[in-house]
Amino acid sequence: MAPVPLTPLARADALRLADTALAAVRQRFPHKLDHLILHEDDRPAPAHIHPLFDGSYDWHSSVHMHWSLLRLLCRQPDLPQSAQIVEHFDARFTPALVAVERDYAAQPQRGSFERPYGWAWLLALQAELDEHDARLPRRSAWADALRPFSDEVAARLAAFLGRSHYPVRAGMHANSAFAMLLARRHRDEALNRAIDRAARQWFGNDRAYPAHYEPGGADFLSPGLCEALLMREVLGEAFVPWWTAFEPKGEALANWLQPARVSDRVDPQLVHLDGLNLSRAWCLQSLAEAVPAALAPRFVAAAQAHRAAAWPHIGGGDFAATHWLVSFALLSLGD
Per domain, the residue ranges of the chain are 9-30+50-203, 223-335
Cα–Cα separations (whole angstroms), residue 252 to 5, 71, 182, 212: 27, 34, 26, 4
240-273 per-position pLDDT tens digit: 999 999 999 999 999 999 999 999 999 999 999 9
pLDDT over 80 (residue 2): no
Residues 6+ apart with CB under 8 A from 16: 314, 315, 316
Cis check for the bond before 241: say yes or no (omega within 30 of 0).
no
Q: In this structure, how many other beta carbons lie within 10 angstroms of the beta carbon of residue 75?
A: 15
Q: Is the pTM of this model over 0.95?
A: yes
102-160 per-position pLDDT tens digit: 999 999 999 999 999 999 999 999 999 999 888 899 999 999 999 999 999 999 999 99
Among 49, 129, 55, which Cα is nearest to 93's?
129
Confidence of residue 6 (pLDDT cuts 50, 70, 90): confident
Cα–Cα separations (whole angstroms), residue 91 to 28, 53, 88, 227: 16, 12, 5, 37
Q: Please tell me the distance from the alpha carbon of residue 273 to that of residue 256, in angstroms, as a whole number.
A: 13
